[in-house]
Homo-oligomer: A and B are copies of this chain.
């Protein structure tokens, strides 16, 4: 059963979709196909939320020029590894980090350092996730 009723909520239509356009471009630059896959998956259950993700997450925040994409993904990988409760998103961002130029060794350094701030389990689970991501990319020839 679809939840099409959601997009019929009386929400004022914005005549300015620049946030969405900018966001989608940013999403593609960082996450490639994986990003569109998440948006599609979310859109299947909550279309408005997929839109917010693109507009606010990428149109408003990620496209801000005050911090480079390498630094952004380093920060996100660190935060998600430390929180330890968002494994799917951590993998998305491990890939995103590699996509924007963070090296595999740099990623491992970030994860190892999380042992100091969130403990060894958080760091270990992050390293195991990185291993899976690296192996998948190797298998796909990336």
Q: Does A86 contact B (CB under 8 A)?
A: yes
* Assembly stoichiometry (copies): 6
CB <8 Å contact, A115 and B83: no
CB <8 Å contact, B67 and A106: yes
Q: Which chain B residues border A110 with CB–CB below 8 Å?
A: 67, 71, 75
Name the prevailing secondary structure of the A interface residues: helix
Q: Which chain B residues border A19 with CB–CB below 8 Å?
A: 14
CB <8 Å contact, A11 and B118: no
Option from B65, B75, B108, B119 in Cβ contact (under 8 Å) with A115: B119
Q: By CB atoms of chain B within 10 A, which of A19, A45, A80, A106 has the most?
A: A45
Report the contact-size class of chain A (Cβ under 8 Å from the partner): 35 or more
Q: Which residues of A contact B (CB under 8 A)?
A: 1, 3, 5-6, 9-12, 14-16, 18-19, 22, 38, 41-42, 44-46, 48-49, 52-53, 56-57, 60-67, 70-72, 74-86, 88-89, 104-106, 108-125, 127-128, 130-131, 134, 138
9 example contacts (A-B, Cβ-Cβ < 8 A) are as follows: A3-B104, A11-B63, A11-B64, A56-B60, A61-B112, A66-B105, A67-B109, A82-B83, A118-B118
